[in-house]
Amino acid sequence: MISSKYTIREQNESIILNEIITHKEISRATLSKMSSLNKASVSSIVKKLIKDHLVVETRIGEATNRGRKPILLTFNGKESGLAIAIDVGFEYIDGLLTTLDGTEIRRFQLIDTYANKYNIQKLIHQVVEKLTLKLPPTFHGIVGMTIALQGQILNNKIISTTYSNLEEVDLETLLNAEYSYPVYIENEANLSALGEYTFSSDLNNLVSISLHSGIGVGIVKDGKLDVGNKGYAGRLGHTILIPNGRVCSCGNKGCLEMYCSTNIIYREIAEAKHLNKINSDIVLHLYNSNDSKVINMIHEYSYYLSIAVNNTIMLYAPDIVVFNSPLTKKIPDIITTIQSHLKNKYTNGIPVISSSIKWNPVLSGAISLSIQKFLNIEKLKLSSS
């Protein structure tokens, strides 16, 4: 049963709360100026936010024009509540618990774990149990949990995934029946983009490219996530790189992810070097040992990725392109090589970077979504700590 605390916050209340979060410390008078709401309305909204334990009066500020010294207001993110993020990766499950200002309380990972339609609920339960052991006291407790998955997801429903038949379970219904707080489901590349927007970027238009076993793009336009009307906008891995090329599971030939997903990169390097085991650390070691075969292969993958980056910039005109991948994090030359191939007059001024988010950016986005929904703030900016 969802209690009344999850009911949607009234719009003016969300506007005022967002101003308080953005400004860290702000007076009622400044809030009135910023929001164009009169002082009486601001005062009554602030009174309600204080009563809801979302805002606290912190200290007396400096007076302006010999007026009364104002009382400054701050978002009570540390004490008001908690949010959960779960990233269901291809071979792991990563969980994070934070306060509502994005401060990490606990992190727990299951590795070498493969989710399927039979075990997914149990695996999520296992991670949540570890995360929620001895919760710090907060006024609202856990306010929401967001599950990140690869694949096409629309309005919390899994339309298709790259995992074992996960679309055959109604995960949203199962999880919302199990937990006392709302549970949301969203695509991992979309959440990465939201994480970049919320925690690390001053920019309002960005794309985040997730380079994993699949390749996806999350798009944030004017602060809002754009998933397309069917939830598969940004499935970059299924854009065609080579006409009539390798057969892809999507039904087409020559898709990008048949040439430079991490699965393909690992498999081809393992074959070329006759290795039984491979991961990003082994690729990094070979690259740093000046293995000319591996260096050439990495440069070729980077060239393929630069074509994808070029096409993405031409379609979405973002202010920045952020990569989320263990490979780009460990081998910065991939990013440099991609940049060197961006030659047209539109793309060569657009920064391409590797994500600098401390956590897995997918988790940051999943935390952000849980908090956004609870506060009813769509364009939320927090700084991670």
**What is the binding site for Zn ion (CB under 5 A)?**
238, 248, 250, 252, 255
Q: Tell me how far, at minimum, the Cβ of 254 lies from Zn ion, in Å.
A: 8
Q: Tell me how far, at minimum, the Cβ of 238 lies from Zn ion, in Å.
A: 4
Q: CA separation (Å) from 270 to 89, 262, 266?
A: 22, 12, 6
- Say how many C-beta atoms besides its own lie within 10 A of residue 101's C-beta: 18
Q: Between residues 187 and 370, which has the closer beta carbon with respect to Zn ion? A: 187
The Cα 385–Cα 378 span in angstroms is: 21
Q: Between residues 140 and 238, which has the closer beta carbon with respect to Zn ion? A: 238
Q: Tell me how far, at minimum, the Cβ of 253 lies from Zn ion, in Å.
A: 8
B/e letters for 191-202, b = 16+ CB within 10 Å, e = fewer, are: bbbbbbbbbbbe
The Cα 150–Cα 185 span in angstroms is: 10
The answer to whether 178 touches 292, Cβ cutoff 8 Å, is: no
The Cα 276–Cα 356 span in angstroms is: 31
Q: Tell me how far, at minimum, the Cβ of 247 lies from Zn ion, in Å.
A: 9
The answer to whether 382 touches 199, Cβ cutoff 8 Å, is: yes
206 DSSP 8-state letter: E
Sign of the alpha-carbon torsion through 326, 276, 257, 365 = negative
Q: Tell me how far, at minimum, the Cβ of 236 lies from Zn ion, in Å.
A: 10
Q: Between residues 263 and 376, which has the closer beta carbon with respect to Zn ion? A: 263
Q: Between residues 252 and 263, which has the closer beta carbon with respect to Zn ion? A: 252
Q: Between residues 113 and 252, which has the closer beta carbon with respect to Zn ion? A: 252
Q: Between residues 308 and 350, which has the closer beta carbon with respect to Zn ion? A: 308
Across-strand partners of 140?
A: none
Give the CA count within 13 Å in the CB-facing half-sphere of 213. 13
Instruction: Report residue 226 as tokens.
Output: 């754009």
Across-strand partners of 185?
A: 147
Q: Between residues 255 and 286, which has the closer beta carbon with respect to Zn ion? A: 255
Q: Tell me how far, at minimum, the Cβ of 329 lies from Zn ion, in Å.
A: 25
Q: CA separation (Å) from 76 to 49, 52, 100, 198, 325?
A: 10, 10, 8, 17, 33
Q: Between residues 258 and 362, which has the closer beta carbon with respect to Zn ion? A: 258
The answer to whether 248 touches 238, Cβ cutoff 8 Å, is: yes
Q: Tell me how far, at minimum, the Cβ of 58 lies from Zn ion, in Å.
A: 53
Across-strand partners of 142?
A: 82
Q: Tell me how far, at minimum, the Cβ of 6 lies from Zn ion, in Å.
A: 39
